[in-house]
Amino acid sequence: MQGIIADKALAPLNGLPILCHSIRAFLASGCIDRFTIVYRNDAQKAELAVALRQIDLQGMPIDWVLGGDQRQGSVYNALRIQAKTCTHVFIHDSARPLVSANSIQALHTAVLRDRAAVLAHPVADTIKRIPTAGQLTQTELEDLDRSRLWAMETPQAFALPDILKAYQHVHDSGLRVTDDTAAAATIGLHSTLVPNHAANLKITTPSDLSYAAWLLQQ
The domain limits of the chain are 8-120+154-216
CB 112 within 8 A of CB 96: no
CB 34 within 8 A of CB 62: yes
Q: Residue 126: what pLDDT?
A: 95
Q: How many CA atoms lie within 13 A of 123 on its CB side?
A: 13
- β-bridge partners, 117: 157, 192
What architecture is the 8-120+154-216 domain classified under in CATH? Alpha-Beta Complex (3.90)
Q: Measure the CA–CA gap between 38 and 3, rounded to whole angstroms.
A: 22
Sequential pLDDT tens for the chain (218 residues)? 566 677 889 999 999 999 999 999 999 999 999 999 999 999 999 999 999 999 999 999 999 999 999 999 999 999 999 999 999 999 999 999 999 999 999 999 999 999 999 999 999 999 999 999 999 999 999 999 999 999 999 999 999 999 999 999 999 999 999 999 999 999 999 999 999 999 999 998 888 999 999 999 88
Q: Residue 150: what pLDDT?
A: 97
Q: What is the pTM of this model?
A: 0.94
Q: Residue 199: what pLDDT?
A: 92
Q: Measure the CA–CA gap between 106 and 197, rounded to whole angstroms.
A: 11
Cα–Cα nearest to 119, from 131, 101, 138: 101
